[in-house]
Chain A
């Protein structure tokens, strides 16, 4: 609790730089979260599959095990 009070005290006492930084970040962060969760599920699922979409069926047949 003291740590939070200390950080807030510092925040208030030290001018505008942190405030600008924090506001910019929070706005960007909120926008990204909203936007991200409005993406279509089908698109998200397709992108998540990208690493698994191997297009090289002819090689590496012996490498199923580490």
Chain B
């Protein structure tokens, strides 16, 4: 038969490959930085745009959309031309896609560093960038479907199906999760609130994993693994089942991110059931990939490309078993909010996506440059550095997760939390955080070696920009099914019909999962006492979002005794109806803050405490890993946006009074003045116009409306008789250490008092000077005045030691002692 010569566009493949390598290094480097920040706060450098809360989304976006995204496009543009035996439909669209995507990445990095974020994980970018993503993505889709339309093969290979499904689903996900109302050029609120927002976000978030990190990569696996192994995929039939089962099931599973949370039980169960079912197609895919190497396993020993592929596919299998297990309630109760989730996603990210990307590039670059790989030995070294890095990254995090989760849940025989102070559980896992950073460093080192190897390969080769291929023209076939032609075989040559059924599969699950929640009033029990955020609280909430506080603090107390004892009453869906966006979080590097504003509650802290804590967390608690936020104290609050924010919130259904936007700043300043006055009363020099004031207002709003009159969260003030005084040196030394951790921030390192707390070394006492009085003060605290109840933080024996130490320093007369306060009591 007559053949024709065509030219594949390798230049666009090269561009995307270079971008993959560059952004991969950037993403990994930022990942290493945030790993170090979690191990020690010094790596936040006291700089706003380098703090963990802002950098973490840069890492996730860089790795997912820049590194993996560009890798997908590299593979798609390369494999699609060859599988369809045609050049891409439009060079113009190809390069528009490339440069548009890179521009989006740069804008994402800049805006996230500056704190412009929606705070929805993996969908943080603000509305103008969301629109740009949609435009560029549509251009990519147009180019892809155009290429499919002008193909010179009759049927579409399974890899192309995965590309189609990825494009279709990401389009649906991005559009529906990004419906937001702009407040200004770089600020918007999502139309969804609370529970709705959470369900839509995790429908998106999980399926971003599914249809950005998984299905396109399965397409790459179905193409590059047979290529490198030089044998066909083990079972094409299994590929068909793998594809449809995966596409149909994946989309249902989003609610497994919200188990035990304020989501209807049926939705949680739906997420669990479909997650467990997902094991079958996922493992079908893994087995199909690995069995493709039957008869070629000896080559795996020598061939680094196959080594990377084997580990990638195996990690895919491990991750897709681990994920469903984490989606069962029994396991989720332990793993959620812990580092297990981080370990899990990094097995997927570093091994499945990372290693498959490396293998694809090791395969591609020599071919694009018509040469051999510069050093197979270096590639093997890269493989082992990467593998060791993954293990050193993930295993410590699993260890940390189980350790911390069990510490959170452990009770004493008397029924108290054994580790009531959250900090104890953080300190315990810090060694694992350092080890994780070492794992990341090894992985990054391997990537650097990879880059050097690739650069050397490129230098020794010569680029084939337009690769010649000889192909046969496509014969004309009837549009309808031919005699004896099976339905799926017909579907494989009908891309439009094929795409239609993919959309049907995706949309069915989306509709069932989300539509029942679109009417908040009919589905979520409303709570009459819930009030909209005051203008100052709303501004404070936006600062909380800007600083990425949600990356470390959840606002979701699950109905476990270990959580209600630690944080307060469990969360109800009706509490979040004004939350655009929701702030439930997915990780507790720090404690949950849902009840931080309940007066007298377990999590309540005074304005002065918050001020000092934001200024210098280590001053309040030496072992804290929270970064400092000194700029909140110096930055003036931007009140010019208040009216626009209230207006948008009203439009979204938040019941502010008619015309309130005009009065909002007046109320804002009134509330700010009250908080500033309270701080000034504690000796803090602050004016009402600072951002810290808004942040404190927001902290004190959290959970306040749902607290019953009189304070259902109040710590029980049972009078505890003072324990026996300990006088041995060891006990007093331990008591001193506890004092330094829990008391010194407010009472001075030697008990001399400071701007916050009174002198403990004189004979004057605000709440009585008997041993029982002093122990009572330590035990129950005076939360309304800022003195926390230490029984929530310390164990009975620790309370006895710190009490004994406090008694021991009376009369020591340290320098710079604060003036006497209260009544004299001579011992």
Give the B-binding residues of A (Cβ under 8 A).
3, 6-7, 10-11, 13-15, 17-18, 20-22, 24-25, 28-29, 32-33, 35-40, 43-45, 47-52, 54-63, 65-66
Contacts and interface: CB of A to CB of B under 8 A. Distances in A.
Given A51-B227, A52-B231, 8 more contacts: A18-B269, A21-B273, A33-B241, A45-B236, A48-B232, A56-B467, A62-B370, A66-B372
Contact of B329 (A6, A49, A59): A6
* Majority DSSP secondary structure for residues of A touching B: helix
Contacts of B157: 47, 50-51
A51 B470 contact: no
A36 B241 CA distance: 7
23 contacts: A21-B270, A25-B277, A28-B248, A28-B505, A29-B248, A32-B244, A32-B245, A35-B487, A37-B237, A39-B488, A43-B486, A44-B237, A45-B232, A47-B157, A48-B232, A51-B233, A52-B226, A52-B227, A59-B370, A60-B370, A60-B464, A63-B372, A66-B304
Contacts of A7: 269, 272-273, 276, 328
Contacts of B304: 66
B393 interface: no
Contacts of B509: 21
Interface of B: 8, 79, 82-83, 85, 153, 155, 157-159, 222-224, 226-228, 230-233, 236-237, 240-241, 244-245, 248-249, 252, 265-267, 269-270, 272-274, 276-277, 303-305, 328-330, 362-363, 366-367, 370-373, 376, 379, 464, 467-471, 486-489, 492, 505, 508-509, 512, 516
Nearest to A58: B468
Nearest to B303: A66
A40 B477 CA distance: 18
B14 to A, nearest CB: 14
Contacts of A13: 265
Contacts of B516: 17
* Majority DSSP secondary structure for residues of B touching A: helix
A61 B237 CA distance: 32
B236 A63 contact: no
Given A36-B237, A52-B227, A52-B230, A43 B467 contact: no
A44 B232 CA distance: 11
A11 to B, nearest CB: 7
A10 B470 contact: no
A1 to B, nearest CB: 12
B380 to A, nearest CB: 10
Nearest to B362: A66
Contacts of A22: 273
B233 A48 contact: yes
A36 B464 contact: no
Contacts of A6: 329-330
Contacts of B492: 47
B236 A44 contact: yes
Contact of A43 (B227, B489, B505, B508): B489
A17 B366 contact: no
Contact of B512 (A21, A50, A56): A21
